[in-house]
Amino acid sequence: MANVVTRFAPSPTGYLHLGHAHAALFAEREARSQGGTFLLRIEDIDRTRCRPEFETAIREDLTWLGLKWTGEVRRQSDHLHAYRDLVAMLNGMGLIYPCFCTRADIASAGNAPQGPDGPIYPGTCRALTHEARAKRIAGGNAYALRLDMAKAIAQTGRLTWRDLDAGEVVATPEEFGDVVLARKDTPTSYHLSVTHDDHLQSITLVTRGEDLRAATHVHRVLQALLGYPTPDYRFHPLLTDANGRRLAKRDHAETLRSLRDSGKTPAEVRALAGFS
Ligand code: GLU
């Protein structure tokens, strides 16, 4: 059987908490239990929220926990040109259009059906003429680049992927509508960079939390468009606090550092993260 390659791919927007420890230990176990390889990737495309000191802290905290990754750490912000090239390629395939809408525009477009990622984009800018687009761009209006999902699906046809627990899954990317592939503030997006990097790092098994299960449908369509093979997938539950709420940075979930400072050992923290 081929070498299993997994990865942990955090964003350096804060200190790691037990939910991250669970995700990292889960990915590492999937690799190690099969004699495979575990990699680390820093997903720092959001230049306003990511900070180098959090990246340093991620490495320190994982090392303290006893996690060892193989080889160089891939940092997404070092590869923005590569994502730009991919968007240009998809544009050449006639699948991309500029979108000038603000969040408020989309919200006020009214009764937009909800997709897995929030309201489905109503397609306002898809209908703009070439001249209208050129005029707005020349006028300095900021724009994102969206994937024309209906066209993309027409090119790829029916797609499936394998969830190691649930079996074959039929991809339903239409539920997302025209996703953003390059944001106004950065020449890529989560969906594009994660799909590209999983391919470049030869990831054979993507492990991620249940909250990102749905995103896999978008990644599957991107793999097909970009000619990338499809890895297997396995999803882990999200850890919750005493009130049943999912641990999150924004709610100030207790960090691995604070657990360490309070005298907990790595083994105790691994146990708290569900890995005794
Ligand atoms: N960077 C993503 C996160 O922090 C995880 C990447 C993925 O599994 O798709 O939630």
- Could you report the per-residue pLDDT of 142-154, keeping only the tens digit for each? 999 999 999 999 9
Residue 261 pLDDT level (bands cut at 50, 70, 90): very high
- Residues pairing with 160 in the sheet: 170
Instruction: List pLDDT tens digits, range 43-102.
Output: 999 999 999 999 999 999 999 999 999 999 999 999 999 999 999 999 999 999 999 999
Rounded distance between C-alpha atoms, residue 24 and residue 270, angstroms: 10
Task: Give me the pLDDT at residue 67, please.
Answer: 97
Q: Are residues 94 and 152 in the same domain?
A: yes
> Which is more confidently placed, 20 or 103?
20
The residue type of 214 is A
Whether 145 is covered by a domain: the verdict is yes
Rounded mean pLDDT, 268-274: 96
Domain assignment present for 205: no
- 43 close to ligand 1 (CB < 6 Angstrom): yes
Distance 41 CA to ligand 1 centre (A): 10
Alpha-carbon dihedral angle through residues 25, 30, 32, 37, given to the nearest 10 degrees: -100
- Beta-sheet strand order (sheet of 5-8): 5-8, 37-42, 74-75
The CA 99 to ligand 1 mean position distance, Å, reads: 25
Does the pLDDT at position 224 exceed 80? yes
How far is Cα 120 from Cα 60, in angstroms, rounded to an integer?
39
Task: Please state, in angstroms and rounded to a whole number, the distance separating the CA atoms of residues 132 and 125.
Answer: 10
Residue 252 pLDDT class (50, 70, 90 cuts): confident
The residues, any chain, with a CB within 8 Å of residue 114's CB and separated by 6 or more, are 120
- Total domains in the fold of the chain: 2
Q: Is 186 in the pocket of ligand 1 (CB under 6 A)?
A: no
Asked if 194 and 154 sit in the same domain, the reply is yes
Question: Distance (Å, rounded) from C-alpha 66 to C-alpha 25?
Answer: 10
Same domain, 90 and 216: yes
Confidence of residue 257 (pLDDT cuts 50, 70, 90): very high
Strand pairing report for 180-182 and 144-147:
antiparallel
CA distances from 25 to 28, 73, 245 (A): 5, 17, 21
Query: Which structural domain, as residue segments, surrounds residue 24?
Result: 1-72+239-276
The Cα 22–Cα 140 span in angstroms is 44
Residue 208 CB less than 6 A away from ligand 1 = yes
Residue 108 confidence (pLDDT): 82
Same domain for 7 and 49? yes
State residue 1's pLDDT score.
54
Are 10 and 120 part of one and the same domain? no
The atom of ligand 1 lying closest to the CA of 219 is: 9
Q: Are residues 244 and 225 in the same domain?
A: no
Residues 97 and 66 in one domain: no
CB distance 18 to ligand 1 below 6 Å = no
Instruction: Tell which wins on pLDDT, 246 or 215.
Output: 215
Over range 215-226, report the average pLDDT. 98
Which residue is closest in CA terms to ligand 1's atom 8? Answer: 208
Please indicate, yes or no, whether residues 269 and 196 belong to a single structural domain of this protein. Answer: no
| 3-55 pLDDT tens trace | 999 999 999 999 999 999 999 999 999 999 999 999 999 999 999 999 999 99
Position 159: which residue type? Answer: L
Residue 107 has pLDDT above 90, yes or no: no
Q: What is the CATH number of the domain that holds 103?
A: 3.40.50.620
Calculate what percentage of the chain has a pLDDT beyond 90: 87
Predicted local confidence at residue 249, as pLDDT: 75
